[in-house]
């Protein structure tokens, strides 16, 4: 099933992420696709809130991965911008991908080490409105 939502605010983005969170059971990898500033990290913050994460969610730009505990699932948030495709495949993150008790969110993916429940979430600017974003995915 295809989902498309428009966001006019951070609150909207959080609600959209909560919609996706309602479909997650653990073991999923969310590949977040979008330009710089398109709202990928904001989407992950909304997803984390919907999963019951109480910690402050920040971009793992320099740490590569942040781990959070929600009420039922863990959340692994990756930012792989600084890594080449080869480096991504060599980092050994496979143990995190598809953990049955976690959801992985991957920003700036360049490799293809994923299998199973992979959902690509597109975050796009909407032409003519700097504050509006379009989020879409297929489940």
Domains and CATH numbers, the chain: 2-138 (3.40.50.300)
Dump pLDDT digits (tens) for 5-56: 999 999 999 999 999 999 999 999 999 999 988 999 999 999 999 999 999 9
Q: What pTM does this model have?
A: 0.91
Nearest 10 degrees: CA dihedral of 64, 121, 33, 68? Answer: -10
Q: What's the mean pLDDT when you consider all of the chain?
A: 91
- Coil/strand/helix, residue 28: strand
Q: Counting beta carbons within 10 angstroms of the beta carbon of residue 27, is it exposed (0 to 12), middle (13 to 18) or buried (19 or more)?
A: middle
User: What pLDDT, on the 0 to 100 scale, is given for residue 93?
Assistant: 81
pLDDT in tens, 40-54: 999 999 999 999 999
Question: Does the structure show a pLDDT above 80 at 132?
Answer: yes
Closest alpha carbon to 36 in 73, 78, 81: 81
Helix or strand (DSSP H, E) at 34: none
């Amino acid at each position: 099933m295809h989902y498309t939502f428009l966001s006019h605010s951070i609150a909207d983005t959080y609600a959209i992420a909560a919609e996706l969170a309602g479909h997650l059971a653990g073991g999923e990898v969310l590949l977040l696709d979008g330009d710089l500033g398109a709202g990928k990290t904001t989407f992950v913050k909304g997803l984390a809130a919907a999963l019951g994460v109480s910690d402050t969610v920040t971009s793992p730009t320099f740490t590569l991965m942040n781990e959070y505990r929600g009420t039922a699932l863990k959340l692994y948030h990756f930012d792989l911008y600084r890594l080449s495709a080869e480096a991504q495949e060599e980092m050994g993150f496979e143990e995190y991908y598809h953990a049955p008790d976690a959801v992985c969110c991957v920003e700036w993916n360049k490799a293809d080490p994923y299998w199973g429940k992979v959902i690509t979430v597109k975050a796009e600017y909407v032409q003519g409105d700097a504050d509006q974003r379009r989020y879409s995915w297929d489940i």
